[in-house]
Chains A and B, each alone.
Chain A
Amino acid sequence: MSDKGEVDLTGAKQNTGVWLVKVPKYLSHQWAKATGRGEVGKLRICKNQGKAEVSFTLNEELTTIDTIGDKPSMVRAPREHPFTLQTVGGQTLAVFTENSSGQSDAEASGSGTGTGPDKIALEGLVVQRAECRPAVSENYMRLKKLQMEELSKPLRFSQQLEKAVTTNYKPVANHANNLDYERKKKEEGKRARADKHQVLDMLFSAFEKHQYYNIKDLVDITKQPVTYLKEILRDIGIYNVKGTHKNTWELKPEYRHYQGEEKSD
């Protein structure tokens, strides 16, 4: 645990410079589709009398855009993307990585992500900021149009149906659910009064688990008729009319011995 949280500062010490580049969404989608080693394109840096021009060219195979349903659409992603360079400004931007072991978050671990120890490392500092812009072209305009159409669709919409929906349920004399219920009741039969001691045992064991019970729950647990159960309960328990535990039964103080309560015998 001592190593956990320790930040690896090699990147900072080496003053590794990195670029922070803002990339359009569609481009990052395309990059995600890269195969092999992950080569996505080429970056061209032109130093023109002190001014640098950076441009990124997307690989040919990655220009096909998949619309929903993975169908290649007519539109293709533009290939040329000049970079707009910006300074970092006063801000100090550092890049740190979290090396989680790839497992899902486990709250029990009580720290960081992943159940395995995270390695946090400082990779470097940002020395240049850039924005990746597509070179404006016919292609790009079509792409944007498509995107906007998709976005403008509302998430929910009303649709008129031609016919009434008849698949949900039909009117019946007696629903299947009800029939089952009645059958179950018949099987169980009326609840029989068991021996008082047995009932008391059941009650005590129930009250060991919880302090307050509803009468219905007790009937369920003990399977006794209500009146009989109530008689027994009147002996050993009290009925809470007011307070937080309304309409619940609990054992009389002398029968209780919960932890956190004073013991009384």
Chain B
Amino acid sequence: MTHQHPALTAEQKKELSDIALRIVAPGKGILAADESVGSMAKRLNQIGVENTEENRRLYRQILFSADSRVKKCIGGVIFFHETMYQKADDGTPFVQMIKDKGIVVGIKVDKGVVPLAGTDGETTTQGLDGLWERCAQYKKDGADFAKWRCVLKISEHTPSALAIMENANVLARYASICQQNGIVPIVEPEILPDGDHDLKRCQYVTEKVLAAVYKALSDHHIYLEGTLLKPNMVTPGHSCPTKYSPEEIAMATVTALRRTVPPAVPGVTFLSGGQSEEEASINLNAINTCPLVRPWALTFSYGRALQASALSAWRGQRDNADAATEEFVKRAEVNGLAALGKYEGSGDDSGAAGQSLYVANHAY
């Protein structure tokens, strides 16, 4: 406990820190395009498209074909394993398309949730076996950051102390292995929005979870300046009868972070967790105009909330590809503004942007 056995050299630290800062540079956030095959099934099902590898490739191509406008609002893209090795129609690897835009490539490395016996339906996340070798390979193949999602749920008796501690520990092990291989770990301890709990309950649980996460990161000697956090915003549960304004959500979220996330962490990239595209942007904007002191970048790492309109516009038709790409660029720019606290809202709550993207018990 008393002697340091440095986990990283000064050069390794600098590399990690530089990557993290590039991803969350002012006005930039992350496109989470790392849906597993199973999750893509749900997305494609909603627009009546068959879940084939080719359709998944075509769809990601729509996103990655975005023009240079995305350079100023997208700092990183998270890939699923399959996608890392796919190419565009003209044979350009997707990884290269992204890097050519000056955007950092990331990779989802967890292997999904597994049950914690003796708990009320709680889980931990697997994926540590051989993670070192996988990270080393992904680094060679162009990835500079990774993502690992843990899941906690609020109910009468959850999250339990075990679930909090176990998920925090596994996040710290993952983070440690990533950093050893030159990969910035995005640490994602998602507290699901399922339930009828109010805003305060979510804030309380989020504070407890994040405190445990950062203690575990400290115990595992993680270099915080070379990490990012991907938390839920603090919101009421989906079935909560009380409605809250974006300012209330912002205040609860920023307060929770101020009490738990060390200022050394360069950026907090929120998950959208089933919020509609517009909601996710409005809330992010409110977070960035909150009057409390915010020592980290506060930006987005959105999946559904960046892609819903694009998916709707595409509907699996090649002819719709350009229109779909345009929808994506629009949401990306809106969120880039929100990350700077400069988004004034569309005023338009209809269509795909306003539609709640909540999927019960989102496992992936």
Q: Do A and B come from one complex?
A: no
What residues of chain A have their CB less than 8 Å away from a CB belonging to chain B? none
